[in-house]
Amino acid sequence: MSTVIYENEGHKCLSFGDLVEGEGIQSNQFLILDGDSSAIIDPGGNLTYSRLYVHAGRHTTVKDLDFVIASHQDPDIVASVSKWLVGTSCRVVIPSMWARFLPHFFAPGSYSPERIMVVPDSGGTIAFGRSSLVALPAHFLHSVGNMNIYDPVANVLFSGDIGSSVDPGNVSMPVTNFGAHVGSMIDFHRRYMTSNRACRFWAQMIRQLEPEWIVPQHGAPFKGPEVIDEFLTWFERLECGIDLFTEDDFQTGSAFAQHITT
């Protein structure tokens, strides 16, 4: 099922929140359309490829897809990249940190470097329809080379893993009670985000945009200035990642004592 995030004058943003089959973590995939131009953000891996192709096909001619945009390197982000390059005419947009690893998703000899667009660490704009999509830096949140996609026409920030929640509830409905929502975010962010320093810099940058929506890759989106301010305030105060690690987390004793089984 798709959810329309924005639609006006031929520009449309759609979210798909229920396509993951099997054991994988719930993930949202996104389709942006502007006239005849089309982009999929963070399509995922083998658990979503076929269903996303079919569902996106209800809104556009998928074989003519212009872009597959990968915010970072994770399996739930871009493991299906080889299929998208074969099944559509897309180009793949990916941060420079991860472009050199992309060939590992392909069979030998099937990689197409001429169809890869590499975004520098400082970000950049991608011409799209009558406007552009903006790739914004999101270093270390959580991937070392991570980017977010901002759609200035819709005023939507696709924030990737930032703002994600692990909650079986209705992921198409925006968060209304931020305080109650924190419980589904906190463990994920404490471990998957790298450091408060990165959180603060990112939140400062995002406040300048004044987005109407912040839409993460997992769980429910944030809509409107009040709840977005609550989220950014929480995020810039968050202690996470290396802020929380101590030498107790690097002990040979606990490793040798733990027997790993299926």
Task: Kindly state the smallest distance separating residue 25's Cβ from Fe ion, in Å.
Answer: 7
Which of 79, 161, 227, 228 lies at the binding interface for Fe ion (CB under 5 A)? Answer: 161
Give the Cβ contact number of residue 93 at 10 Å.
Answer: 24
Q: Which stretch binds Fe ion (CB under 5 A): 28-36, 78-86, 215-223, 225-233?
A: 215-223
Q: Closest CB to Fe ion among 129 and 219?
A: 219
Tell me if 76 contacts Fe ion by CB under 5 A. yes
* Alpha helices (H) along 105-184: 178-181
DSSP 159: E
Task: Kindly state the smallest distance separating residue 74's Cβ from Fe ion, in Å.
Answer: 4
Which of 32, 43, 53, 74 lies at the binding interface for Fe ion (CB under 5 A)? Answer: 74
Q: Which stretch binds Fe ion (CB under 5 A): 28-36, 212-220, 244-252, 254-262?
A: 212-220
118 token code pair: 């590499």
- Answer whether the bond into residue 11 is a cis peptide, omega within 30°: no
Tell me if 42 contacts Fe ion by CB under 5 A. no
Q: Closest CB to Fe ion among 74 and 151?
A: 74
Task: Kindly state the smallest distance separating residue 218's Cβ from Fe ion, in Å.
Answer: 6
Task: Kindly state the smallest distance separating residue 256's Cβ from Fe ion, in Å.
Answer: 30
Integer Cα distance of 241 and 195 in angstroms: 5
Tell me if 151 contacts Fe ion by CB under 5 A. no
Task: Kindly state the smallest distance separating residue 143's Cβ from Fe ion, in Å.
Answer: 6
Integer Cα distance of 134 and 260 in angstroms: 44
Q: Which stretch binds Fe ion (CB under 5 A): 9-17, 69-77, 113-121, 229-237?
A: 69-77
- Amino acid identity of residue 168, one-letter, is P
| Beta-bridge mates of residue 40 | 31, 68
Q: Closest CB to Fe ion among 37 and 73?
A: 73
DSSP 248: G
b/e map of 3-41 (b: 16 or more CB within 10 Å)?
Answer: bebbeeeebbbbbbbbbbeeeeebbbbbbbbbeebbbbb
Footprint on this chain of Fe ion (rule: CB under 5 A): 74, 76, 161, 217
